[in-house]
Structure 1
């Protein structure tokens, strides 16, 4: 049974589900920062997913990255799995700008998080609705 890590629950807004991954929005409005979490139990590394799930995770990551680059007119897209603090497998997809507060360095720990309001998150959901298409299920509200 899939259970989202508590730290991810506390630090994100739930956006919805791809066929494999749950899509979360990091509660830090400094950056358009999204997190994909495959809904599989006990997975901490990409190689632990079976071949079909690995391909699906990359397909969902690629689709999301393309949509975000266009929607947010990003200068660069950062895509990474780290898991040093949260061991549950999750993929960070972050739209970056040459003008953002952490550029060109990593976003982790650079500046205090600026939480989103519910209205801000709804604006992001509305933007994503046009881009993500039929294979995505939106969920309203915080975790």
Structure 2
């Protein structure tokens, strides 16, 4: 029998077993991934900031880990705003489906399919399709924003 320090829910965690998108940044505390699939097409520039350690709540992190994670969330928001110029940004940390600390950093436009509601609710209209995010521009903007944290 192999012994592990991981709890049973850690072993099945999709954020522990995979990157979860296209990697834009990673350090010892967290990673930033560009979301793909339908969410990425509908909300180009949508990123997730995922904690490296499998913990369920922000308060399970040390004060230094909390500060770093939030600094990266805010740098990600600044980078998306610079590249995508959305009407609004949404930040969400729910974890009800995947109980692993992660933040959704979502650009929103008044004419997107779900505005003003959350992206996880029913669409309110077809929504304007936007061109895909310029991945290199977002990567560069993110790294520039991180230098100021």
TM-score (norm 2): 0.71
Aligned to 1:62: 74
**Which protein has the larger Cα radius of gyration, Structure 1 or Structure 2?**
2
DSSP 3-state at the match of 1:100: coil
The structure with higher relative contact order (CA 8 Å, sep 6+) is 1
1:129 has 2:105 as partner: no
- Paired residues, number: 125
| CA offset digits 1:87-124 (Å, max 9, x no partner) | 1111000000001010000101535xxxxxxxx5xx63
Aligned to 2:58: 46
CA displacement at 1:15 relative to structure 2 = 2.9
Structure 2: 5+ residue stretches without partners: 1-5, 124-131
8 Å CA contact retained: 1:18, 1:60: no
* RMSD of equivalent CA atoms: 2.9
Shift in CA distance, 48/105, structure 1 to aligned 2, threshold 3 Å: same
CA displacement at 1:6 relative to structure 2 = 2.0
TM-score (norm 1): 0.74
Structure 1: 5+ residue stretches without partners: 112-119, 137-143
Aligned to 2:98: 86
